[in-house]
């Protein structure tokens, strides 16, 4: 019999119970015992839901108190020395200290999980560290599920090769094997204990296998799984990959494991080609990831049926596992509550719970191949109607937008003069000092701000009351910015709930869920908009607040927009168009807003693109094409402004060293870019690559509650100025300040301005 499984389930709960518990615990409103109990109840609820849905192999151990990569590091006692960890099971105070920072120690780096919008905490493998098994987390989860619900769970573990590849702090060229030799015995111990417990299947995630690997890594892979197979011969290992097709199929399927999990959604082309060319071992289970774990659209069930039928010709039924393509962590929990969406859209949605139903249905259909029952046939017919209804809707077929975008794509996407000439004109216009200071855009959204927005949305406040309140906040923070001593100001974005949602609400082609939350990092949950139709500009989106802010000061105020690639990458997008075309539709709409700001007298406009890097394809062969059209989309948005209009952009929390050329090709007059959370590592890229445009490297981490010292920021400035042109260097935080408190924000910015004053005194005479 064919069986079903998923690779993981959302942690946050239908009503974000997980997020609320974390934040209550952090604020001291929830004691640790009560906190632990709340999270246990949530875990059991999730397992029970999978059990009730009819999923055969239920994952356990994918639930986390913050992040699964951090969990792995904590399980092996790999806690940076600065957190004063004394051994044993890692206390929650230390665990959350690593993730969020403490007053004494900076948080560990946070970066994107492959090409998703989920962020993981980067493990630090320090010299002299000796990993030990502090607790067998997968075993604890297995026991809990079995004792509480009678579930024979499938423990989930992050694989050793992926864990090593995602870690930092060691010399990859010379120390990888030494670290593997330290970690591998711990993995062996984990699996031995699972085997003794009677565990049947364990899922070991190795998503790194869809990226480019060298011969040495393949040898390490062989060494790892031979050691694990020898240590726990009674345990079935499902070696799981996702997000793309595997790079070395033949080497992978030859490993001594009992199952191989492949992504047949995002990695369909490569994986199906490998399967057709080389077959599949008769003695292994194929985990067929046929339901999209990252997208929100209902599967075209007849196509999935046909794919599974093809796989069933290669793999015996008892060796076929119908799965999600990756963990369902990346989609909202349920579409059941989304009652306010357009009918044709709601009918086409499948969130995590609906995907469980799809998996079970496809498994049932496969097990009754040739004798598909009336119930299954009815579901397939309904699926056909629902998807066709959306595809034929007017919102997806706007000829005016499609023609306009096609015409713009035929035009040069360039500023009228090169940067060097624009820079001279802008300096004459703005007369900024050496090392201009600014912020990224948002200021703290206090409880008062959130309450005001809620009153307005509920209709208890009129539009005028809300507009007056926003102006009061702008007045307050314009004055504070002047008092602090910033050179270029922002209006604070108090009218915006989210940097993508805000713009989506003002553009055609978008829809918004009531409860479509997904985890981004830690307790930070986002509710991505849905781009389900052709995107179109409706009217001015940011002009009113920006123009008002500029009227309250003599210093320049930046207009603040979210860029087309970020809006696309941070939304759930339609799957009937190439992403390039969606990006160009967004760029065309945002271009009209940029022009409106300029016409309103705003001479500095920031178009944020923090998500450019995360959309980079995992396959090197596809990266150049993506970067080319991502750059074109940015330039389409910004290229029509005057020479004296200064275009800014912002990027954060990604590895940017491999796309410096593309960043420069965007031709923004100033880019602000995160460096503090990665402890300045990006600066190394500029030691090897010259950058000719204006740049501000974030000098402090806004996601940590600590107020950084002046000396810390000064050290970051000093290092940057060893490789960057001081005449083009700006000083700013590494990201927006929406989530921070007022007092810590003011204190941190005062320290930043003081560090700038010291730098000007130190370097000013040299240039």
Domains and CATH numbers, the chain: 3-9+43-79+124-332+341-391 (3.20.20.210), 399-408+421-766 (3.20.20.210)
pLDDT at 729: 94
Mean pLDDT of 642-664: 84
pLDDT single digits (tens) 308-348: 999 999 999 999 999 999 999 999 999 999 999 999 999 99
Q: How confident is the model at residue 674 (pLDDT cuts 50, 70, 90)?
A: confident
Annotated ligand binding at 16? The verdict is yes
In contact, 263 and 239? CB cutoff 8 Å: no
pLDDT at 724: 87
In contact, 674 and 698? CB cutoff 8 Å: yes
Report whether pLDDT(706) > 90.
Answer: no
Q: Give the containing element (helix H, strand E) for 19.
A: helix 17-26
pLDDT at 497: 83
Mean pLDDT of 674-683: 61
Report whether pLDDT(428) > 80.
Answer: yes
Annotated ligand binding at 112? The verdict is yes
Annotated ligand binding at 18? The verdict is yes
pLDDT at 656: 66
Residue with tokens 């109607």: 385
pLDDT at 688: 67
In contact, 515 and 337? CB cutoff 8 Å: yes
pLDDT at 368: 84
Annotated ligand binding at 652? The verdict is yes
Beta bridge partners of 696: 672, 730
Alpha helices in 102-151 (DSSP H): 137-149
Residue with tokens 């699964």: 68
Closest CA to 599 of 641, 561, 564, 560: 641
Annotated ligand binding at 525? The verdict is yes
Beta bridge partners of 262: 288
Q: Which of 119, 319, 330, 703 is catalytic?
A: 703
Give the integer Cα–Cα distance in Å for 645 and 716.
29
Annotated ligand binding at 493? The verdict is yes
Report whether pLDDT(280) > 80.
Answer: yes
Q: Which residue has the higher pLDDT, 375 or 607?
A: 607
Give the integer Cα–Cα distance in Å for 59 and 204.
11
Question: How do 110-112 and 59-60 pair as beta strands?
Answer: unpaired
Percent of the chain scoring above 90 in pLDDT: 85
pLDDT at 470: 95
Give the integer Cα–Cα distance in Å for 535 and 337.
25
pLDDT at 722: 86
pLDDT at 704: 74
Mention every residue, 6+ apart, whose C-beta is less than 8 A from residue 598.
605, 641, 642, 645
Report whether pLDDT(747) > 60.
Answer: yes
* 644, burial (CB in 10 Å: exposed 0-12, middle 13-18, buried 19+): middle
Annotated ligand binding at 456? The verdict is no
Give the integer Cα–Cα distance in Å for 450 and 377.
48
Q: Which residue has the higher pLDDT, 99 or 497?
A: 99
pLDDT at 766: 57
DSSP per position, 421-488:
HHHHHHHHHH-PPSS-B---SB----HHHHHHHHHHHTTSS-HHHHHHHHHHHHHHHHHHHHHHT-SS
pLDDT at 660: 82
C-alpha distances out from residue 27 to 32, 258, 272, 568, Å: 11, 45, 49, 34
Mean pLDDT of 458-484: 96
Mean pLDDT of 395-407: 95
Closest CA to 68 of 143, 11, 144, 23: 11
* 272, burial (CB in 10 Å: exposed 0-12, middle 13-18, buried 19+): middle
Annotated ligand binding at 735? The verdict is yes
Give the integer Cα–Cα distance in Å for 767 and 763.
7
Give the integer Cα–Cα distance in Å for 99 and 124.
12
pLDDT at 764: 83
Range in 178-192, 327-341, 493-507, 544-558 with the lowest mean pLDDT:
493-507
Annotated ligand binding at 451? The verdict is no
Give the integer Cα–Cα distance in Å for 384 and 371.
20
- The CA dihedral of 486, 491, 494, 498, to the nearest 10 degrees, is -90
pLDDT at 199: 98
Annotated ligand binding at 17? The verdict is yes
Annotated ligand binding at 193? The verdict is no
Give the integer Cα–Cα distance in Å for 384 and 386.
6
pLDDT single digits (tens) 180-202: 999 999 999 999 999 999 999 99
pLDDT at 171: 93
Report whether pLDDT(439) > 80.
Answer: yes
Mean pLDDT of 412-431: 95
The CA angle 731-734-735, to the nearest 5 degrees, is: 125
Give the integer Cα–Cα distance in Å for 401 and 387.
22
Report whether pLDDT(241) > 80.
Answer: yes
Annotated ligand binding at 764? The verdict is no
In contact, 473 and 498? CB cutoff 8 Å: no
Coil vs helix vs strand at 342: coil
Mean pLDDT of 68-86: 97
pLDDT single digits (tens) 111-139: 889 999 899 999 999 998 999 999 999 99
Coil vs helix vs strand at 672: strand
Known active-site residue 684 = no
Beta bridge partners of 322: 4, 288
pLDDT single digits (tens) 576-593: 999 999 999 999 999 999
- The CA dihedral of 741, 744, 748, 750, to the nearest 10 degrees, is 110
Task: Find the distance separating the first CA and the last CA of the chain, reported in whole Å.
Answer: 75
Report whether pLDDT(676) > 80.
Answer: no
Annotated ligand binding at 614? The verdict is yes
At 406, list the tokens.
């096609």
Coil vs helix vs strand at 279: coil
Mean pLDDT of 257-276: 97
Mean pLDDT of 385-411: 95
DSSP per position, 158-201:
E-HHHHHHH-BSS-HHHHHHHHHHHHHHHHHHHHHHHHHHT--E
Mean residue pLDDT of the chain comes to 94
Over its C-alpha atoms, the chain yields an Rg (Å, rounded) of 26
* 426, burial (CB in 10 Å: exposed 0-12, middle 13-18, buried 19+): buried
Give the integer Cα–Cα distance in Å for 754 and 711.
10
Q: How confident is the model at residue 705 (pLDDT cuts 50, 70, 90)?
A: confident
pTM, rounded to two decimals? 0.90
Mean pLDDT of 266-273: 97
Give the integer Cα–Cα distance in Å for 359 and 356.
5
Coil vs helix vs strand at 570: coil
In contact, 607 and 637? CB cutoff 8 Å: yes
Return the DSSP state at 5. B
pLDDT at 654: 58
Q: How confident is the model at residue 677 (pLDDT cuts 50, 70, 90)?
A: low
pLDDT single digits (tens) 368-397: 865 557 778 889 999 999 999 999 999 999
Report whether pLDDT(473) > 90.
Answer: yes
Report whether pLDDT(682) > 70.
Answer: no
Annotated ligand binding at 248? The verdict is no
Percent of the chain scoring above 70 in pLDDT: 96
Annotated ligand binding at 373? The verdict is no
Report whether pLDDT(219) > 90.
Answer: yes
pLDDT at 582: 98
pLDDT at 703: 72
Return the DSSP state at 106. P
pLDDT single digits (tens) 6-47: 999 999 999 999 999 999 999 999 999 999 999 999 999 999
Give the integer Cα–Cα distance in Å for 767 and 434.
9
In contact, 744 and 443? CB cutoff 8 Å: no
DSSP per position, 605-670:
EEEE-TTTGGGS-SSHHHHHHHHHHHHHHHHHHHTTS-TTSEEEEEE-SS--GGGHHHHHHT--SE
Q: Give the containing element (helix H, strand E) for 238.
A: strand 236-240
Q: Give the containing element (helix H, strand E) for 508.
A: strand 507-511
pLDDT at 371: 52
Q: How confident is the model at residue 631 (pLDDT cuts 50, 70, 90)?
A: very high
pLDDT at 689: 67
C-alpha distances out from residue 662 to 565, 609, 623, 630, Å: 13, 12, 11, 9
pLDDT at 478: 97
Mean pLDDT of 697-720: 86
Report whether pLDDT(48) > 70.
Answer: yes
- The CA dihedral of 67, 68, 69, 75, to the nearest 10 degrees, is 110
């Amino acid at each position: 019999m064919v069986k079903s499984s998923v690779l993981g389930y959302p942690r946050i709960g239908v009503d974000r119970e997980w997020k609320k518990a974390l934040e209550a615990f952090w604020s001291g409103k929830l004691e640790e015992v009560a906190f632990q109990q709340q999270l246990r109840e949530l875990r059991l609820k999730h397992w029970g839901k999978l059990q009730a849905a009819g999923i055969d192999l239920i994952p356990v151990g994918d639930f986390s108190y913050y992040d699964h990569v951090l969990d792995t590091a904590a399980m092996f006692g790999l806690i940076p020395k600065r957190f004063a960890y004394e051994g044993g099971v890692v206390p929650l105070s230390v665990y959350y200290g690593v993730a969020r920072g403490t007053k004494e120690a900076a948080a560990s780096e946070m970066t994107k999980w492959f090409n998703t919008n989920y962020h993981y905490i980067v493990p630090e493998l320090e010299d002299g560290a000796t990993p030990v098994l502090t607790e067998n987390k997968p075993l604890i989860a297995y026991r809990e599920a079995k004792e509480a619900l009678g579930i024979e769970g499938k423990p989930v573990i992050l694989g050793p090769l992926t864990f090593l590849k995602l870690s930092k702090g060691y010399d990859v060229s010379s120390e990888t094997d030494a670290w593997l030799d330290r970690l591998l015995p711990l993995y062996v111990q984990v699996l031995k204990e699972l085997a003794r417990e009677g565990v049947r299947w364990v899922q070991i995630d190795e998503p790194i296998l869809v990226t480019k690997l060298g011969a040495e890594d393949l040898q390490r892979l062989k060494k790892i799984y031979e050691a694990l197979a020898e240590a726990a011969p009674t345990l079935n290992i499902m070696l799981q990959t996702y997000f793309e097709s595997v790079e070395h199929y033949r080497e992978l399927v030859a490993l001594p494991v009992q199952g191989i999990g492949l992504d047949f959604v995002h990695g369909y082309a490569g994986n199906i080609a490998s399967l057709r060319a080389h077959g599949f071992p008769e003695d292994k289970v194929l985990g067929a990831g046929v339901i999209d774990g990252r997208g929100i659209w209902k599967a075209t069930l007849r196509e999935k049926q046909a794919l599974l039928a093809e796989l069933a010709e290669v793999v015996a039924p008892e060796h076929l596992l119908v799965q999600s393509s990756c963990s369902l962590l990346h989609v909202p929990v349920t579409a059941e509550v989304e009652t306010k969406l357009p009918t044709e859209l709601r009918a086409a949605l499948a969130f995590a719970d609906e995907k469980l139903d799809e998996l079970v249905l496809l498994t049932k259909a496969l097990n009754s191949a040739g004798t598909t029952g009336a119930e299954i046939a009815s579901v397939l017919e309904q699926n056909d109607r629902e998807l066709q209804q959306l595809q034929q809707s007017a919102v997806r077929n706007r000829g005016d937008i499609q023609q306009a975008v096609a015409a713009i794509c035929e035009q040069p996407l360039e500023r009228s003069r090169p940067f060097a000439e624009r820079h001279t004109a802008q300096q004459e216009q703005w007369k900024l000092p050496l090392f201009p200071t600014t912020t990224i855009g948002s200021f703290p959204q206090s409880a008062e701000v959130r309450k005001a927005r809620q009153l307005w949305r509920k209709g208890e406040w009129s539009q005028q009351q809300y507009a007056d309140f926003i102006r009061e906040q702008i007045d307050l923070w314009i004055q504070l910015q002047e008092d602090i001593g910033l050179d270029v100001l922002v209006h604070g974005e108090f009218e915006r709930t989210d940097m993508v949602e805000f713009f989506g609400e003002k553009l055609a082609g978008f829809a918004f869920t009531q409860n479509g939350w997904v985890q981004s990092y830690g307790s930070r949950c986002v509710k991505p908009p849905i781009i389900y139709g052709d995107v179109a500009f409706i009217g001015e989106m940011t002009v009113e607040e920006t123009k008002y802010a500029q009227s309250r000061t003599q210093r320049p105020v930046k207009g603040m927009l979210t860029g087309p690639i970020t809006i696309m990458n941070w939304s759930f997008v339609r799957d009937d168009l190439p992403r390039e075309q969606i990006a160009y539709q967004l760029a065309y709409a945002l271009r009209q807003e940029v022009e409106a700001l300029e016409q309103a007298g705003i001479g500095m406009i920031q178009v944020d693109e923090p998500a450019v890097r995360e959309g980079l394809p995992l396959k090197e062969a596809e990266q150049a094409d993506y970067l080319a059209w991502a750059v074109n989309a940015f330039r389409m948005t910004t290229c029509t402004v005057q020479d004296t209009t200064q275009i800014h952009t912002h990027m954060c929390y990604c590895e940017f060293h491999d796309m410096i050329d593309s960043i420069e090709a965007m031709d923004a007059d100033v880019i602000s870019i995160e460096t503090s959370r990665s402890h300045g590592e990006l600066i190394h890229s500029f030691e090897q690559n010259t950058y000719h445009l204006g740049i501000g490297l974030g000098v402090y981490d806004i996601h940590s509650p600590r107020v950084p010292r002046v000396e810390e920021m000064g050290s970051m400035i000093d290092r940057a100025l060893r490789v960057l042109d001081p005449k083009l260097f700006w000083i700013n935080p590494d990201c927006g300040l929406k989530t921070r408190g007022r007092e810590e924000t003011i204190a941190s910015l005062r320290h930043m301005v003081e560090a700038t004053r010291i730098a000007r005194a130190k370097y000013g005479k040299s240039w």
